[in-house]
Amino acid sequence: MNKRLKSVRHDPSQQPSSLQTDLAQRIAQQIKDGKFARGEHLTETALAQQYDVSRTPVRQALRLLEEQGFVESRANSGVFVAEVAPELALDPLTSEQASEEEIYRAIIADRATNQLSSPFSESEILGRYDAPKRLVTRALLRLTREGLIERRRGHGWTFSPMLESTEAINESYRFRMMIECGGLAEPGFHVDEKELQESRSAHLHYINTRRRAKSPADFFAMNASFHEMLARFSGNRFVEQAVRQQNQLRRFEEYSNFVTRNINLVDSCQQHLEILDALERSDREWAIALMKHHLSTSSQM
């Protein structure tokens, strides 16, 4: 049974107008009925005259049709009816359809709850979620850019490694307490003042702009960078290597928490800033206590 994604309110400026949607539907129907031949050149001027509209809504309608495979743009030539017509009916182009953001979040949530296995194909995702192919493709590309999935050599994708049980997550936090607190106590520990200030600025910027954040990508990058920076300050290559590996394993957990749970990430940022303050005062003992508290409270979220 397909999984229906709840609709959301979209930004009106990004949504096709009713006129554009109607034009796309009418042109698609004529293509399917054979009134526009395969490979036929479609011009904005001719279509505008045929439907008694201006060229602007025609242009947008053709873009919508290109996204779904009914037409194709050719460099320096224009728009042509696709040689191979889509087998499925034109996807509904209304605000009732799922958004790319919903698909993206649903894939993360379903993977985190072991409802999606690895590897997987695009057809499996299309069969699972009631959404247009173009939006599924965009969601998969976004997950790829963020390092959550990788494209396979043959076909399909595979999920990045993750902590797959509560026991593994708890073990990870206990391991990090040993490694990260120990790193702060290393005899070769040395703070790079420039890096510390850059990290402080990044945290303050996130706190000030958090309401505009649309994905966990920015927070995860900042969070991972913070912990890896302190590991680098330790002067111990093995501490840095261990923290970097933990960050990679935690990536899916972090994204899943952002998507499925109401976690106050500002609190995490404030705790990071307190650790930076302690290090700036050269109070490593207090920084270690703060780090232990930070990881302990994070494990309970």
Q: Which three-class secondary structure state does DSSP give residue 150?
A: strand
φ, ψ dihedrals at 73, nearest 5°: -90, 140
The alpha carbon dihedral of 90, 92, 93, 97 has a sign of negative
d(CA 255, CA 248): 12
Extract the tokens encoding 254: 């972090």
Q: Are residues 74 and 34 in contact, defined by beta-carbon separation less than 8 angstroms?
A: no
Predicted local distance difference test score (pLDDT) of residue 212 = 55
Instruction: Give pLDDT tens digits along the chain (301 positions).
Output: 344 444 333 344 455 666 777 788 888 888 887 888 888 999 999 998 888 778 888 888 898 888 888 888 887 788 999 887 665 445 544 433 457 777 887 888 788 777 888 888 888 888 787 677 778 888 888 888 777 888 887 778 888 777 767 788 889 899 999 999 999 999 999 999 999 999 999 999 888 886 555 556 678 888 889 999 999 999 999 999 999 888 888 777 777 766 666 566 788 899 999 999 999 999 999 999 999 999 998 766 5
Place of tokens 């993750």: 162
Q: Right CATH number for 17-81 from 1.10.10.10, 3.40.190.10, 1.10.10.60, 3.40.50.970?
A: 1.10.10.10
Question: Facing residues of 80 across strands?
Answer: 41, 72
Predicted local distance difference test score (pLDDT) of residue 204 = 93
- Please give the class, per CATH, of domain 100-159: mainly alpha
d(CA 109, CA 253): 10
**What is the CATH topology of the domain spanning 166-299?**
Four Helix Bundle (Hemerythrin (Met), subunit A) (1.20.120)
Region label for 188, one of left (φ > 0), alpha (ψ between -120 and 50) or beta (otherwise): alpha
The alpha carbon dihedral of 92, 66, 213, 254 has a sign of positive
DSSP assignment of 264-281: -HHHHHHHHHHHHHHHHT
Predicted local distance difference test score (pLDDT) of residue 189 = 97
d(CA 285, CA 279): 9
* Domain boundaries, given as residue ranges, for the chain: 17-81, 100-159, 166-299
Extract the tokens encoding 9: 């309110």
d(CA 148, CA 33): 42
Q: Are residues 300 and 166 in contact, defined by beta-carbon separation less than 8 angstroms?
A: no
Q: Which three-class secondary structure state does DSSP give residue 74?
A: strand
Task: Using a cut of 0.75, tell me whether the model's pTM lies above it.
Answer: no
Within 52-192, where are the H helices?
A: 55-67, 100-112, 122-128, 133-145, 166-184
- Do 17-81 and 166-299 share a fold? no
Amino acid at 164: E
Predicted local distance difference test score (pLDDT) of residue 23 = 83
